[in-house]
Structure 1
Amino acid sequence: MSNQRDLARALLASARRHSHRFRKEDSVGRRENLENDETQSVGPQLINESLFELIADQGWGEHLKIGDLFTRWSEIVGAEIAQNAKPMRLTDGKLLIEARSTAWATQLRLMSDDLKRRIGAEGLELKEIEVVGPRSPSWRRGGWTVKGGRGPRDTYG
Structure 2
Amino acid sequence: MRANADGGSDRSEFGGDEGSRKPVALSSIVDKILEDHGVLAQVRRMSVLDEWSELVGDAVARVTRARSVEDGVLIVEVRSSPWLMELNMMKGDFVRRVNDYMPDTPIERIVFVQAETE
Shared fold per TM-score greater than 0.5: yes
Q: Which residue of 2 aligns with 1:17?
A: 13
**Could you say if the C-alpha distance between residues 18 and 118 of structure 1 is closer, same or farther in structure 2, counting changes exceeding 3 Å?**
closer
Q: Once superposed, what is the RMSD of the aligned Cα atoms?
A: 2.7
Identity of aligned residues (%): 21
* Distance apart, 1:60 and its partner CA: 2.2
1:69 lines up with 2:65 in the alignment: no
Matches within 5 A, 1:14-93: 16-18=12-14, 21-23=17-19, 42-43=22-23, 45=24, 47-93=26-72
**1 or 2 for the larger relative contact order (CA 8 Å, sep ≥6)?**
2
User: What letter matches 1:127 in structure 2?
Assistant: E
* TM-score, scaled to structure 1: 0.54
Cα distance per residue 1:110-143 (max 9 Å; x no partner): 1101011011112343333222233356xxxxxx
* TM-score, scaled to structure 2: 0.68
Aligned length: 106
- 2:111 counterpart (130, 141, 150): 130
Distance in 1, Cα, partners of 2:109 & 2:15: 46
**Could you say if the C-alpha distance between residues 49 and 93 of structure 1 is closer, same or farther in structure 2, counting changes exceeding 3 Å?**
closer
**Could you say if the C-alpha distance between residues 108 and 54 of structure 1 is closer, same or farther in structure 2, counting changes exceeding 3 Å?**
same
* Distance apart, 1:67 and its partner CA: 1.8
* Distance apart, 1:78 and its partner CA: 2.0
User: What letter matches 2:13 in structure 1?
Assistant: R
Which one has a bigger Cα radius of gyration?
Answer: 1
